[in-house]
Structure 1
Amino acid sequence: MQALNIVVAGAGMGGLTAALALQKAGHRVHVYERVAELAPVGAAISIWSNGVKILNALGLKEQIEAVSGDMRSMSYQDQQGQTLTRFSLEPLYQQVQQPARPIARALLQELLLEAVGREHITLGVSCEQVAQDAKGIDVTLSTGDTVRADLLVAADGTHSRLRTEVAGFDSEREYRGYVNWNGRVPVSADLADAHEWKQFVGEHKRVSLMPMGNDEFYFFFDVPLPKGTANQRNHYRDELRQHFAGWAEPVQTLIERIDPERVARVEIHDVDPLDKLVKGRLVLLGDAAHSMTPDLGQGGCQAMEDAWVLMNCLEQYAGDVPAALAQYEAQRLERVAGIVLRARKRCDTTHGTDPVKTQEWYDELAQESGVNILAGLRQTIEGSPLQ
């Protein structure tokens, strides 16, 4: 196979996974990241089985297992703390032959950085413009320098500057109606079982506690709010007390234990599915290609799938980059569009876009044995390119 010179724009989870996969395939890869210091957005990432399998195949199995959460069950409570449903995740894990691995974003990023090699990553430099011909692509950097490559992988995130170059128009990020506060707290039995993903739902709001490894829970609070609501860190705890007044004792305990200085507050957006992911030798990957709400926990996993498919397509069409990218687009376009729309639908149901449907969902949870939820998770996982 012909080794290619590949530039990756962005050192997030998608860009680093792509860089590692392409290196494993024998290509020469360099990553440019616009920020001077990497600081992952969000405390943790829920890597479901489809993403874990790809990280395992890229040589990170032992490292991931050592630092990720051991999530064995899942439950929903109402706002008073009454259990609506609780069930084991083991049947799902047996069916897909891989447990989920919730993990701190900073730890995963560090593992990927070390695997790629820091000498292959330049911080504080972004990919600004491109010019292509039949034999390659010229990438103009924010330094004013130009680098020549066989391929540019645009993994520059939800605010991608290169997405417009591929799409042919400015694809607007759309506010999906809710704000998410997230962070991490020490595992404690008065919050949740150390091996259970526990969620409280009611009033179109949600509180979640997920085991993320290192004896910590990843927590988040979701609240439907107008866009542009004031974001004042010193008011986070008081805001949450107000939004969740009267909720169950574990929710009140969690609010008192958070460290506002370590909490991220994010307005949740997504981008309508694109009708193309490739333009010549420029290819979109990760959030640049399919920015989605976090309601299915699949944003990072889909970026990992992108990386795996891109690596395989370049191997299948060795020496013919345009043909490889056309195949990548054919394999990814429908899958990622479907997950963007499913995540949006789940977002709307959870957060009261249609209050009648949200109440119906609460009622369904009270009758849920786990079979339907597990079937939905399995459907997503089994669509992965790596079984």
Structure 2
Amino acid sequence: MKVIIVGAGIGGTSAGIALQRLGHDVVIYDQMRENKPVGAALSLWSNGVKVLNWLGVGPEVAALGGDMADMVYLDGLTGETLCDFSLAPVTAQSGQKPYPVARADLQALLMERLGNERIHLGRKMVGIAQDEASVTVTFADGTTDSADLLIGADGARSITRAYVQPDGAPEIVREYSGYTNFNGLIPVDSSIGRATAWTTYVAGGQRAAVMPVAGDRFYFWFDVVQEPGLPYDRAEGVAPLREAFAGWAPGVEALIDAIDPAVSLNRVEIWDITPFSTWTKGRVAILGDAAHNTSPDIGQGACSALEDSFALGIAFATNTVSVADTLRRYEAIRAERAGELVLRARRRGFETHAFDPEATAAWYESLRGADGVGIIRGIVGNIEGSPVNLGAGVLLD
């Protein structure tokens, strides 16, 4: 069976590998002209890593991942340690160690494993048509391609998402999450945080954090609560961070000082989409951000896309009635869980960004002297319902 996938991101490439391993002929198209992922890095919690293990790239992913052994919260203004605890229980309960990884490194690995010759860049999809026998994609340059199946992994502004919605369905609208994220990569610096810890500074509904990735680097990110659409010129560099985090602890000052905007600094407004139930139409389905655009507040965005790839692969390995039937079964496996993760991230963002000041103050107080049990319970709770766990994702002593 020939499969067209639109989108060469983490979701699209992992889905391609899953279907290729089943013997299908996979081709990927993407409008980007070179591998320049949005965002410097991502959190691969245990559910996401397990999918990558299943895809046959586990050792390579482990080599790309940072040794994130502990989690530390600090008062953003004073630098006082609020809590400091091991993440080993996450590994013990889930059966897999989590890894932060540089997004470009992971995407390059997946593209190479699929086969770069199967990935065609600079091809923007502008139209979809299907009949009983095939689906045809039209590109902006006027060319077309046809296949038995189309997977739209074409991101938050997906064309495929609009195509699969039933006639008369409400318009699906992206919603602003209330903050902008600045992120990038810097060398590990002990004045900011330990090389083996996810360190987060919190105050006033804003956060500054670092996570270790391979190559003795930190992935850093800042959350700045602000209105959408504010102008930003890359020539401003870190000036907005100096303004938003003025008076913060020395570790945050050191983090801002360590950023070289010419090397690695991204600015992304954070939006999500309220969950919806229709992911398929005949021979066409959506996957990843096209299906469940979420904020990064629980670190499950990439993991959820990887879960899509797992579910899609399992559906095609086990169901044979028709392409449309198999895609509906994929939708049934994924839509409810993926939607719940979107809502969990939204609730978490509401709590951490002081949109309810009392709730945020209570969260800060709960961090003071915490042993990590409650936080780990939340992390594992996001993992345990994953389809990759086959109903046995959490083992407690």
Fold conserved between structures, TM > 0.5:
yes
- Aligned twin of 2:235: 234
* Paired AA for residue 151 in structure 1: L
2:304 aligned to 302, 309, 316, which one?
Answer: 302
- In structure 1, distance between residues paired with 2:239 and 2:163: 43
1:41 aligned to 38, 41, 53, which one?
Answer: 38
* Matches for 1:189-268 after TM superposition, within 5 Å: 189-261=190-262, 262-268=264-270
Runs of 5+ in structure 1 lacking a partner? Answer: none
| 1:7 Cα deviation after fit | 0.3
1:48-84 CA distance string (max 9 Å, x none): 1100011111111111111210100001111111111
User: Does 201-210 or 56-65 show the bigger shift?
Assistant: 56-65
On the 8 A contact 1:314/1:324 being kept in 2, the answer is yes
On the 8 A contact 1:180/1:222 being kept in 2, the answer is yes
Whether 1:111 and 2:109 are equivalent positions in the alignment is yes
- In structure 2, distance between residues paired with 1:248 and 1:35: 39
User: Does 237-246 or 179-188 show the bigger shift?
Assistant: 237-246
* Matches for 1:1-387 after TM superposition, within 5 Å: 4-79=1-76, 80-168=78-166, 170-261=171-262, 262-318=264-320, 320-387=322-389
| 1:242 Cα deviation after fit | 1.6
| 1:319 Cα deviation after fit | 5.2
Aligned residues: 384
- In structure 2, distance between residues paired with 1:291 and 1:171: 11
Identity among equivalent pairs (%): 45
User: Does 134-143 or 26-35 show the bigger shift?
Assistant: 134-143
Runs of 5+ in structure 2 lacking a partner? Answer: 390-397
| 1:162 Cα deviation after fit | 1.4
On the 8 A contact 2:87/2:376 being kept in 1, the answer is yes
On the 8 A contact 1:209/1:220 being kept in 2, the answer is yes
On the 8 A contact 2:31/2:122 being kept in 1, the answer is yes
- In structure 2, distance between residues paired with 1:160 and 1:135: 24
3-state SS, counterpart of residue 130 of structure 1? strand
1:113-171 CA distance string (max 9 Å, x none): 11000111111112221222222212222232222211100000111111111124542
On the 8 A contact 1:72/1:196 being kept in 2, the answer is yes
**RMSD value over aligned CA atoms?**
1.2
TM-score (ref. length: structure 2): 0.94
On the 8 A contact 1:167/1:274 being kept in 2, the answer is no
| 1:213 Cα deviation after fit | 1.3
* Paired AA for residue 301 in structure 1: C
On the 8 A contact 1:68/1:214 being kept in 2, the answer is no
- In structure 2, distance between residues paired with 1:86 and 1:298: 22
3-state SS, counterpart of residue 301 of structure 1? helix
* Paired AA for residue 160 in structure 1: S
- In structure 2, distance between residues paired with 1:279 and 1:358: 42
* Paired AA for residue 70 in structure 1: D
- In structure 1, distance between residues paired with 2:312 and 2:218: 33
* Paired AA for residue 323 in structure 1: D
* Paired AA for residue 238 in structure 2: R
On the 8 A contact 1:85/1:369 being kept in 2, the answer is yes
